Amino acid sequence: MSSRHHGNHDIHAGRHRIATLRGGVPASGLDSVVLNVTVTDPAAAGYLVVYPCGGLPNASNLNFVAGQSVPNGVVAKVDWAGNVCLWSTTATHLVVDVVGYVRT
């Protein structure tokens, strides 16, 4: 998932974005995914949370300041449909790469 070439922010402040996992990730029997998540050109300082869609946890996976590009490795559980959600405190562009997965 990347929004850098679309001219608008991929995720808006206080809203979540569902990441549907593709490209060699099994459709079933999946427990967690290993991701490289990069925030780039955020509108303000803030943080990003990667989590199984549902209740938003009280922890961040990535902290950043305005205009910064910050990558971080994240291991996240998937929800019942095999997706993860991303939530940010501020509008930003995202680049999310799947680098591995864990089966149930």
Mean pLDDT of successive 10-residue stretches along the chain, which has 104 residues: 50 79 80 94 96 93 96 95 92 92 92
Tell me whether residue 43 is in a domain.
Answer: yes
Tell me whether residue 84 is in a domain.
Answer: yes
Tell me whether residue 2 is in a domain.
Answer: no
Tell me whether residue 78 is in a domain.
Answer: yes
Tell me whether residue 25 is in a domain.
Answer: yes
CA distance 80 to 17: 16
The whole domain housing 28 covers 16-103
Number of domains in the chain: 1
Helices (H), the chain: none
Tell me whether residue 99 is in a domain.
Answer: yes
Inter-residue contact 56 to 87 (CB < 8 Å): yes
pTM for the model: 0.85
pLDDT value of position 8? 54
pLDDT value of position 9? 57
CA distance 5 to 95: 11
Tell me whether residue 6 is in a domain.
Answer: no
